[in-house]
Structure 1
Amino acid sequence: MASNYTNTTHFNDTNYFDGSHAPDSVIHYTIAAAVAMGLCLFGLVGNIIVFWYLFFRIPRNKYSVYIINLTAADLLLLTFAAILMMVNINTLVGSNPDFEGSAGFYTFLEIIYDLSLYSGMYFLTAIIIERCISELFPIWCHNYRPKTLSVTMCICLWILGCSESLIENLLCTQEDFSNQTPVCTAVEIMTFTLSIFICLPLMILSSFTLLIAIMWITRNRYPPRLYIIVIAAVCIFILSVIPFNFLWFLMYLRLLSSIQDTLGLYFASILTAALSSTCKPFMYFFVGRLWKQKSSNSIYDTLHRAFEAEDDEKEEIKCEK
């Protein structure tokens, strides 16, 4: 997103604040940054646990590969969001806000942050589309789906997220963003189109398809946990992250005029992105415990139940028939 507009130098320019409200604004933004940093640290614990078990202990299937990469993206996002908040707190109330190399360091943080945010969005889109296709065309997926498709897709999506982040942060700098240069305008339209006009409709359409599938399945038995995990993760992302992508574009069009609106949007977007990444591992644990009978409640068993390939077995039965 267009976070490069909110460079650290903006916090030090008191002309952007109403003189009577500048101290209050600094306090509010410092509290927001501290809350976001605490949320990031809390979310890191859950995502590290999920990544460890999925990567090293739980047998992988075509869907857990996406979840592993999604968790890695969340880990990156939470780590660099926490560092961004530390830099912002130092800029707001620290004794050395303009340390040497701060601009380059801030740009580096933004590149990795945007990389993780965009890649996570693409992983969510890919997994729900693949789950939807597997439900609609089970025989085709069983017979013709390449076994390495998940790994190949994840590599391509990492490259896509990295390319988008580099283009946005290097071709649309703070000055270009403020001046609305043609190149920066093209970059903003590209990122807005990818998130709002491509990923969002695909997520919504696939989610509704899976919801219909759940309604059909639950007439005879409990729905697969993976369905619930994917739909819940998509809903959390859509509700928490997508609206701020839209607001960033409005800000670029200068429909948000004051610096208070800009900085408030900046901190709110990072806070909600961190919240989205923090919620996912705890959602996995919760869904993994649903409908348990006398099975173990260990972390391994909980995550294994959450991501077990029960749907693959159902597809194989359909194919055999």
Structure 2
Amino acid sequence: MAHGRCIRRYFKRLLLKKKMVFNDTNTTYFNETNYFDEHHVPDIVIHYTIAAAVAMGICLFGIVGNIIVFWYLFFRIQRNKYTVYIVNLAVADLLLLTFSAVLMMVNINTLVGSTPEFEGTVGFLTFLEIMYDLSQYSGMYFLTAISMERCMSVLFPLWYHNHRPKKLSTIMCICLWILGCTESLIENLICPSEDFRNQTQACTGVEIMTFALSIFICLPLMILSSVTLLIAIKRTFRNRYPPRLYIIIIAAIFIFILSVIPFNFLWFLMYFRRLPSIQDTLSLYFASIISVALSSTANPYIYFIVGRLWKQKSNHSIHDALHRAFKAEEDEKEDIKISEEEKTSPNSGETNSTSCNSDQTHDNNT
């Protein structure tokens, strides 16, 4: 998460001076950094421009999907405890993709534009960094919260159904937005570019805090909840199809871990001067932007695909797909029923099989 802000500052500081580097390889700046090779600069600029354009295309594709999800879940489908998280996650992904696209436009202007510096550049880039980090942190927290809540409903279905506060989802979303905003402001205001470059104690503490929150708190919780849901799917798959919400959570977490988490280690390498050249830094920067955009873009299409699973009708609508994807109340009641049967019956397998057969007979009669 912090890597995006840190690399963008390197990008801004170095590429805004590209003309000086290109025209005079003997300048003090080039001698101190030894970043660019004079013969490879044009190719590098072209490659980075193409990468920025690809990232913009992915962002636009994801913006459309998240707008559709937000529209249907907020206005057309009755909300439940899980869709509240999904709506907020869609908003966070939408903000992230929007500001990523704007950031790529600024980067393209920096690379090939005639006026890379414009009035208010510093303030505008700081605003982009704050909003980018806010949406990214909040999205990570929403994904962690919904996975843990579903995990609790699987582990303790009776307690969860009877004692869960009705407004818990709303309260949690408000708190997570505040947490993401606070973390973004602290990271961007307490650790500006100069402090980051000089590795001040305050900046080091901020970087360690953001890294610990994502790697040592959110990541283990996501993995734990995913393993729990996989076990639940294996337990119930013999008798009925697994709840679609389980698959959505597991798929979203899997994509997030593969595409986003590895780049969180980049801040460590860059902060402690472990990246050998600016080519490596900027390549990883664009790779991280594209990966984050892919993760945020994939979420709405996961909802659409999973919502259409195990449905034999050929005519599908987005409304029906999303409604089936997040229809969790019946799944919770079924989990509670199975839990009670396992406690009361010594032959839980026979009981579950009988229950499944009776349900199928009832569906046929209906």
1:315 CA drift (Å): 4.5
1:82-93 equivalences under 5 Å are: 82-93=101-112
1:135 aligns to what?
A: 154
Larger radius of gyration: 2
1:280 matched residue in structure 2:
299
Give the Cα separation in 2 of the matches to 1:122 and 1:54. 20
The one-character-per-residue Cα deviations of 1:215-254 (angstroms, maximum 9, x if unpaired) are: 0110111100000000000000000000001122222121
Report the 3-state secondary structure (helix = DSSP H, G, I; strand = E; otherwise coil) of the residue aligned with 1:292.
Answer: coil
Aligned mates of 1:320, 1:252 — CA distance in 2:
53
CA contact (8 A) 1:251 1:257 kept: no
Equivalent position of 2:133 in the other structure: 114
Superposition map of 1:65-76 within 5 A: 65-76=84-95
Distance 1:210-1:320 versus aligned 2 partners, 3 A rule: closer
Which of 122, 143, 156 is 1:124 aligned to?
Answer: 143
Query: Which ranges of structure 1 fall in alignment gaps of 5 or more residues?
Result: none
Cα separation, 1, equivalents of 2:282 and 2:196: 15
Question: In the alignment, which of 72, 77, 80 is matched to residue 61 of structure 1?
Answer: 80
Partner of 1:311: 331
Q: Say if 1:39 and 1:275, in contact at 8 Å, map to a contact too.
A: yes
Matched, 1:10 2:10: no
Q: Name the counterpart of 2:201.
A: 182
- 2:273 is the counterpart of 1:254: yes
State how far apart, in whole Å, the 1-side matches of 2:4 and 2:198 are.
15
Alignment-derived partner of residue 282 in structure 2: 263
Displacement after TM superposition at 1:283 (Å): 1.0
Q: How does 1:206-285 map to 2 (within 5 A)?
A: 206-285=225-304
Aligned letter for 1:10? L
Please name the residue that 1:300 is paired with.
319
Report deviation, 1:105.
0.2
Identity %: 73
Q: Show the 5 A alignment for 1:136-151.
A: 136-151=155-170
Letter in 1 for 2:86: I
CA contact (8 A) 1:4 1:174 kept: no
Residue 170, structure 1, aligned to residue 189, structure 2: yes
Bigger Cα displacement from structure 2, 295-304 vs 223-232:
295-304
| Inter-partner Cα distance in structure 2 for 1:103 and 1:267 | 20
Structure-2 separation of matches of 1:12 and 1:79: 23
- Tell me the distance in 2 between the aligned counterparts of 1:133 and 1:253: 39
Return the letter of the residue paired with 1:230. I
1:152 and 2:156 equivalent? no
Q: Is 1:195 aligned to 2:196, yes or no?
A: no
String of CA shifts for 1:174-197, please: whole Å, max 9, x gaps: 111111111110000000000001
Equivalent position amino acid for 1:198 in 2? I
SS in 1 for 2:64: helix
Give the secondary structure class of the aligned counterpart of 2:81. Answer: coil
Report the more deviating stretch, 62-71 or 258-267. Answer: 258-267
| Aligned residues of 1:30 and 1:89 also touching (Cα < 8 A) | yes
Give how far 1:313 is off. Answer: 2.9
SS in structure 1 of the partner of residue 38 of structure 2: coil
> Is 2:3–2:266's contact at 8 Å kept on the other side of the alignment?
no
Q: Which of the numbers 54, 73, 94 marks the counterpart of 1:35?
A: 54
* Structure 2 residue ranges without an equivalent (≥5): 22-29, 342-366
